[in-house]
Chains A and B, each alone.
Chain A
Amino acid sequence: MYIYDHIDQKIIEERVAQYRDQVRRFLAGTLSEDDFRPLRLQNGLYIQRHAPMLRIAVPYGMLASYQLRKLAHITRTYDRGTGHFSTRHNLQLNWPRLEDTPDILAELSTVQMHAIQTSGNCIRNISADHFAGIAPDEIVNPLVWCEVVRQWACFNPEFAYLPRKFKIALSGATTDRAAVQVHDVGLHAVLSERGEIGFRVLAGGGLGRTPILGATIREFLPWQHLLTYLEAILRVYNRYGRRDNKWKARIKILVKDLTPAGFRDAVEAEWQNSKNGPSTLTESEIARIAGWFTRPAYEKLEPLSSSYVLAIGRDKRFAAWARRNVHPHKVAGYAAVTLSLKKTGIPPGDATADQMDPIADLADRFSFGELRVTHEQNLLLPDVRQSDLFTVWREAEALGLATPNLGLITNIISCPGGDYCSLANAKSIPVAEAIQRRFDDLDFVYDIGELDLNISGCMNSCGHHHIGHIGILGVDKQGAEFYQISIGGAQGNEASLGKVLGPSVSQDEVPDVVEKLIEIYLERRDGEAERFIDVVHRIGIEPFKEHVYGAHQGSKARNRQLAAA
């Protein structure tokens, strides 16, 4: 955990006081709704379908057990007992009262948490790999760098009123698990030939209405220049990003309009003025920040625990869970454990206060009091001894957190959708549940193998449907809720954007369509090693399309595409 020093603490306390006064003035009628809106958004507060929605930041996904207990307390006291973990390291509450939000933020500040810049047209929460700090393929510990960037972004006076929201992701490992290619700025740690640490800088990626993968604008940025370079990017965007049309205001449109090379030139020219200036990072600052992170006191263990191996041999259900929900760790004898928030019938990412408290206890007993919030909307115990895995599994199962489906079709990523969100065109949660029910035979799910299925209730793409192997998007068709299905999207180093299969379908038809996609996959795959996504890439979407819509429809859609081309 990063522990605040007295200055960090003072800054968030002053924020609470500032916000409390803004709410007071709003309620007194001296601050208008229009003037209050951007202020409350920068404190994570939306006005939603049923009530305000408060988005609490879990910076770079790192959460301590005492913080989770506080979240449980807040969820119980100020909400209806359930919180929703989003795809960007946030916890969302759907039923707080506006009048209570200053008190909620005050409670959060006592455990060094906040809702700063979790919404609004500003620099949002920095997101990271959920295996940050423990991944065997790590080049640098991204947590330290995320905190460096967090401090720079926090109340940055120049970039509080950008053309649109701005999301940064940072990956410290060889394999990108932070989706750096679909963020406004992606930072991917790399080593130079001489072994120096730096970052590959990508800009202009994003999902939403115009999905696009980010372009690399710098292959190697030496770490000392991280902040000055980010400042140059943000300044170019702040000055030249479009403000006339909300749908064209993200940085990806600017990068596209200028071309990636043109954008890079503008950034490099701007950067020449601040390069080597006072904001150039120093070794002592990186060491200081690293020093405020607590480190687990790992024991010296055998690389493979014999009791763990025996338990796998003895208990098939445990073995299935271990295969999907236990992940390798860079320290011998330890493993990371996913606590699944994807139980069928429960909205993906939801956790109740009555689950949060015992999860915090699990973290204390088995994982040095630490947890992570993953972008797949699960929780993770990062540092579990292999010899404790069996006990952890049994306790997680009792809490309904041991669904052994990581990486599989039923580990659905989904936004809250039309049940809660006022932006949504369509519901997400019942669709997720219907698919989970259709694929309720675990052996079959294992046979299907690795498959990411992502659902967004609207084009804002909070459920990352573009990068799901199967993506489902809620659309509005003459006032009725329909779903557009795409296939072939992927996250990580091989990121790609899904292609739309054909005309959208009704809610009832979605599980049938998914089932048909799976049928073609199973029929055409070249053995179990070839994943769904690999088959889509190999044979293209046409066979899938024809199976779903029938040969006639498929070719009709193709003719339409040809006519439009």
Chain B
Amino acid sequence: MALIKDRKRVTDNWQLLDALTVGEDGSLPPLPAGDVIVPAAGWTRARAQFIGREGRIGVWLSGTDDPRDIAGDLEHYGVIAVKFPSFTDGRGYSVGRLLRERYGWTGELRAVGDIQRDQLFYLARCGFNAFALREGEDVDAALTAFADFSERYQASVDQPLPLFRRRESSAHR
């Protein structure tokens, strides 16, 4: 699976665990070595053990997860991922904006799942800076998506001022 980060193709060292069964007592199953991305629910249930573990840890959220639930531990994450089960499920766009704008996440925000070239522009606008492209996507074509539009009307993560505020502050526009 190809990964784009900060508008470049990069190698991915993270392993994303789709599911994680935490025991009744909060015990964890054996985890693969290295850097892992775990489900947000798993994080909240076995937080202490993750913090003590070797290797970096990331969390992933689904569209129904509330980012507030994991927002108290931002210093522990190497990455936050948001899963898009289908590209037409747009909940993750709101989750992205909330993580950036409300909870102050400044690290890697990764879109995973059904991620294709034609969604990258809006995803980037909503604060995503890393994109685990769906199998078979053309990476070079995908890299051109960020230039689809040169201007935007609304405020969002990539441009915190709406166009009208920027027009007002620069008389020449």
Binding site for B on A (CB under 8 A): 7, 10-11, 14-15, 18, 22, 30-31, 35, 38-39, 121, 151-152, 154-162, 227, 235, 238-239, 243, 273, 277-279, 281-282, 284-285, 288
Show 30 residue pairs from A and B whose CB-CB distance is below 8 angstroms, ordered by the A residue. Answer: A7-B151, A10-B150, A11-B151, A11-B153, A14-B148, A14-B150, A35-B118, A121-B90, A151-B164, A155-B153, A155-B154, A157-B122, A157-B125, A157-B152, A158-B94, A159-B90, A159-B93, A160-B90, A161-B88, A161-B90, A235-B94, A238-B91, A239-B63, A239-B94, A243-B89, A277-B155, A278-B155, A278-B161, A278-B165, A279-B154
Please state if B152 and A155 are interface contacts (CB–CB under 8 Å). Answer: yes
Given A11-B152, A160-B93, A160-B122, 10 new contacts (CB under 8 A): A7-B151, A7-B163, A15-B149, A31-B118, A152-B162, A157-B152, A158-B90, A159-B90, A235-B94, A281-B164
Please state if B126 and A279 are interface contacts (CB–CB under 8 Å). Answer: no
Please state if B151 and A239 are interface contacts (CB–CB under 8 Å). Answer: no
Q: Given A154-B153, A157-B121, A278-B155, check contact A18 B93 (CB 8 Å).
A: no
In the complex, which residue of chain A has the Cβ closest to the Cβ of B152?
A: A155
* Residue in B90, B118, B154 whose CB lies within 8 Å of A22: B118
Name B's interface SS: loop
Please state if A282 and B118 are interface contacts (CB–CB under 8 Å). Answer: no
The A/B interface has a contact count, at CB < 8 Å, of 101
* Residue in A18, A227, A273, A282 whose CB lies within 8 Å of B168: A282
> Which of A30, A35, A235, A273 has most B Cβ within 10 Å?
A35
In the complex, which residue of chain B has the Cβ closest to the Cβ of A234?
A: B94
> Which of B95, B102, B138, B152 has most A Cβ within 10 Å?
B152
B107: interface (CB < 8 Å): no
Q: Bound complex: CA of A151 vs CA of B155, how far in Å? A: 11
Please state if A279 and B138 are interface contacts (CB–CB under 8 Å). Answer: no
Q: Given A161-B88, A278-B162, A279-B155, check contact A238 B93 (CB 8 Å).
A: yes
Q: Which residues of B contact A15 (CB under 8 A)?
A: 149
Please state if A285 and B164 are interface contacts (CB–CB under 8 Å). Answer: yes
Q: Given A14-B149, A238-B94, A288-B167, check contact A161 B118 (CB 8 Å).
A: no
Q: Bound complex: CA of A481 vs CA of B144, how far in Å? A: 49
Q: Which residues of B contact A35 (CB under 8 A)?
A: 87, 116, 118
Q: Tell me the smallest distance from the CB of B5 to a CB of chain A, in Å.
A: 19
Q: Given A235-B94, A278-B162, A288-B164, check contact A10 B151 (CB 8 Å).
A: yes
B55: interface (CB < 8 Å): no
Q: Bound complex: CA of A308 vs CA of B47, how far in Å? A: 82
Name A's interface SS: helix
Please state if A30 and B138 are interface contacts (CB–CB under 8 Å). Answer: yes
B26: interface (CB < 8 Å): no
Q: Which residues of B contact A10 (CB under 8 A)?
A: 150-151
* Residue in B93, B121, B154, B167 whose CB lies within 8 Å of A152: B154
**In the A-B complex, the 8 residue pairs with the closest CB atoms:** A161-B90, A157-B125, A157-B122, A285-B164, A151-B153, A158-B93, A18-B148, A14-B149
Q: Bound complex: CA of A320 vs CA of B89, how far in Å? A: 53
Please state if A158 and B156 are interface contacts (CB–CB under 8 Å). Answer: yes
* Residue in B97, B153, B162 whose CB lies within 8 Å of A158: B97
Q: Tell me the smallest distance from the CB of A118 to a CB of chain B, in Å.
A: 17
Q: Tell me the smallest distance from the CB of A165 to a CB of chain B, in Å.
A: 13
Q: Bound complex: CA of A12 vs CA of B161, how far in Å? A: 21
> Which of A7, A11, A30, A157 has most B Cβ within 10 Å?
A157
Please state if B87 and A161 are interface contacts (CB–CB under 8 Å). Answer: yes
In the complex, which residue of chain A has the Cβ closest to the Cβ of B122?
A: A157
In the complex, which residue of chain A has the Cβ closest to the Cβ of B167?
A: A288
In the complex, which residue of chain B has the Cβ closest to the Cβ of A289?
A: B164
In the complex, which residue of chain B has the Cβ closest to the Cβ of A237?
A: B94
Please state if B150 and A157 are interface contacts (CB–CB under 8 Å). Answer: no
In the complex, which residue of chain A has the Cβ closest to the Cβ of B165?
A: A278
Please state if B149 and A156 are interface contacts (CB–CB under 8 Å). Answer: no
Within 8 A of A (CB), among B120-173: 121-123, 125-126, 138, 148-156, 160-165, 167-168, 173
> Which of B87, B90, B168 has most A Cβ within 10 Å?
B90
Q: Bound complex: CA of A148 vs CA of B97, how far in Å? A: 22
